[in-house]
Amino acid sequence: MEIRMAKLTKIFTSKNKKEVRAVDNVDLTIPSGKLIGLLGPSGCGKSTTLYLIAGLLRQNEGQIFFDDEEVSEMPPEKRGIGLVFQNYALYPHMTVRENILFPLQNLKVEKEEAKQRTFEMAELVGLQEMLDRKPKELSGGQQQRVAIARALVKKPRVLLLDEPLSNLDARLRLQTREEIKRIQRETGITTVFVTHDQEEAMSISDEIVVMKDGVIQQMGEPQDVYDFPANLFVAKFLGNPQINVFDGEIKNKKIFIQDMEVGKSKLPDQPVKIGIRPEGFIVDSEKTSNLRFDVNLVETIGRDTTLIIDMPGEEKSILDKQSFKVIVDASYRVQAGDLVHFTIKPDKMHLFDFEGNLLK
């Protein structure tokens, strides 16, 4: 089931009559059978977009299509959607079996068929041995899987997930997102997954849609969006640690940070914002590079070591200092206070103008 949005706009009006464009003229096509992550900070419009697809909110302008069928004015119960919220929304007095079965009873599905479909869904989410338990007897991850089974048992055309993992601890979040990906692949259902967590979105999604202020900033396969950000907002939003951003300039086809050359460019001379991923630095063991810094702090976690470096310049208070992070292999031994020389991987450096637009 392909989902297509054309010029979709949702406007909210505050108490003081100020209009907020939560979704602003969005054109978006979600391919059939794919899991798409809507990603962005709080207030970017991702959940509003999901609720417009679901029919829980009515758009001010634009259209929504499921394949060739326009559903813009169709009520939620007619759209054939399965919706899962972050708070599970299970009935505490019902068993797992009864919770999954409930939508089929409302649809007046024949008893034997409903029973069979309930068991199939419980089996799909790995809860067939827990059908007689109450929600309070389940872990958070298990409760969320019940909610997914309840959404899928209706055989919806589209599955919508609104921050389904945000109430889980780190371990359960990892397990449950793997389960969601497995379930989506096994069912082949078109799925929209809303999250503010970039790691979740990148690990679970076939494609991600990065939003800001109700506007789509970029859509693509997660690694492509990470490697080739469309603008500075996308570059800064994706990546942990965050991309390092320096004030620099292009002069005589060379790129400089302060007076240190960091690369080449065919662009004309101009001031630029230079984004360099933490993993984009290469330690120059020969110490021939003029890109060199004193290491302030060293953090070694597992296979990676993170170097925290203060930008050289005039003396500033600790809170005002501009620092950046470099990730190197943990086998490289370095201590705080060491002077380290670097070169830059060209594909990990991006140039932007001072409005945040990518320079090509």
End-to-end CA distance of the chain: 36
Per-domain residue ranges for the chain?
3-237, 244-352
Strands (E), the chain: 3-13, 19-30, 35-39, 61-66, 69-70, 81-84, 158-162, 190-195, 207-212, 215-220, 244-251, 254-257, 260-264, 270-276, 281-283, 291-301, 304-310, 323-329, 339-344, 349-352
Average pLDDT over residues 263-268: 93
Residue 39 has pLDDT above 80, yes or no: yes
**Quick one: 13 exposed, middle or buried, by C-beta within 10 A (0-12, 13-18, 19+)?**
exposed
Identify the pLDDT of residue 14: 80
Identify the pLDDT of residue 313: 61
How much is the mean pLDDT over the chain?
91
Phi, psi of 47 (to 5 degrees): -70, -35
- Cα of 86 vs its chain's centroid, Å: 16
CA-CA-CA-CA torsion sign (216, 219, 225, 228): negative
Q: Model's pTM, two decimal places?
A: 0.89
Average pLDDT over residues 121-132: 92
Which pLDDT band holds residue 88 (cuts at 50, 70, 90)?
confident
Picking from 101-115, 233-247, 304-318, which range would have the lowest pLDDT averaged per residue? Answer: 304-318
Which pLDDT band holds residue 120 (cuts at 50, 70, 90)?
very high
Amino acid at 83: L
Which pLDDT band holds residue 302 (cuts at 50, 70, 90)?
confident
Identify the pLDDT of residue 317: 42
- CB-CB contact of 178 with 129 (8 Å): no
- CB-CB contact of 272 with 351 (8 Å): yes
Average pLDDT over residues 138-151: 91
Average pLDDT over residues 195-219: 95
Average pLDDT over residues 259-267: 91
Identify the pLDDT of residue 319: 44
CA-CA-CA-CA torsion sign (280, 286, 292, 293): positive
Fold for 3-237, please state it. Rossmann fold (3.40.50)
Identify the pLDDT of residue 321: 53
